[in-house]
Amino acid sequence: MAPVDGPARGTCRGHDDDAAARRERAVAEYFAMWVSRDFSRFDELFAPECRYEECYGPVYVGFGELHRWIDAMLARQRVESWDIHEFIHAADGRSLTVTWTFAATERDSYIFDGVSIVRFDDDGRIARIREFRADHRRRRPFAPAPDETDAPEDAGVSGGEVGTPRFDGHVIFEQPDADHGPRSSECCGTIRGSGAQP
């Protein structure tokens, strides 16, 4: 888990830095709960009627649904890392957008990037989270060929791909197929440790 002061911080003129830091700590602590599997402070961070919208469709409202969801996920999933890259504070002083990379293992290991829009109540508790997901692997399909660019060799640009993440193991990746476009291939392995950066 990235430290609270580690990720880039987007600010708005006139916002309260102490309140912003508290919101960042709340989000970082919540993400860390998934890695440590310790949710003992969950009810302190979240409002009782919090609405949580996962990036792939499910919605949970209130502590009852949230605790059942957490228990179900702990039974089948091991979160390896949930790294924060950037916090962006809204001008309203109650909302925060956070960009992140999530890695976990269920039957297979997987990694993806995402964005959460987090809304806080008047007491500073998390009242709503909306998650959005993106593929972790980036590519530039219309980038110049490697010999046509001035990019240094270590810039992570090769064959149209950008920024190969650093981690142990394997994930699902795409291989070009001349007849049918990209196709997915899956490799086994475990993604370990935090700090995988796109």
Asked if residue 163 and residue 94 are part of one domain, the reply reads: no
Asked if residue 114 and residue 45 are part of one domain, the reply reads: yes
Asked if residue 106 and residue 44 are part of one domain, the reply reads: yes
Q: What is the average pLDDT value for the chain, to the nearest integer?
A: 78
User: Does residue 193 lie in a domain region?
Assistant: no
Query: Of 52-56, 92-96, 128-132, 186-190, where does mean pLDDT reach its minimum?
Result: 186-190
- Domain with 63 in it: 8-135
User: Does residue 191 lie in a domain region?
Assistant: no
Q: Are 129 and 109 in contact (CB under 8 A)?
A: no
Asked if residue 86 and residue 14 are part of one domain, the reply reads: yes
Asked if residue 77 and residue 155 are part of one domain, the reply reads: no
Rounded CA separation 145/134 (Å): 25
Q: Are 99 and 85 in contact (CB under 8 A)?
A: yes
Asked if residue 105 and residue 17 are part of one domain, the reply reads: yes
User: Does residue 2 lie in a domain region?
Assistant: no
Asked if residue 22 and residue 71 are part of one domain, the reply reads: yes
Beta strands in 29-143 (DSSP E): 46-53, 59-61, 78-89, 95-105, 109-120, 126-135, 138-139
Asked if residue 82 and residue 170 are part of one domain, the reply reads: no
Chain centroid to CA 81? 9
Instruction: Please report the pLDDT score of residue 8 as a whole number.
Output: 57
Give per-residue pLDDT as tens, 154-187. 444 344 444 434 333 333 333 333 443 433 333 3
Asked if residue 143 and residue 55 are part of one domain, the reply reads: no
Q: Are 22 and 125 in contact (CB under 8 A)?
A: no
Give per-residue pLDDT as tens, 124-150. 999 999 999 999 999 999 998 877 555
Asked if residue 153 and residue 131 are part of one domain, the reply reads: no
User: Does residue 158 lie in a domain region?
Assistant: yes
Contacts with 34 (C-beta within 8 Å, 6 or more apart), sequence order = 79, 82
User: Does residue 196 lie in a domain region?
Assistant: no
CATH of the domain at 124: 3.10.450.50
114 bridge partner residues: 100, 133
Q: How many domains does the chain have?
A: 2
Asked if residue 147 and residue 99 are part of one domain, the reply reads: no
Asked if residue 51 and residue 79 are part of one domain, the reply reads: yes
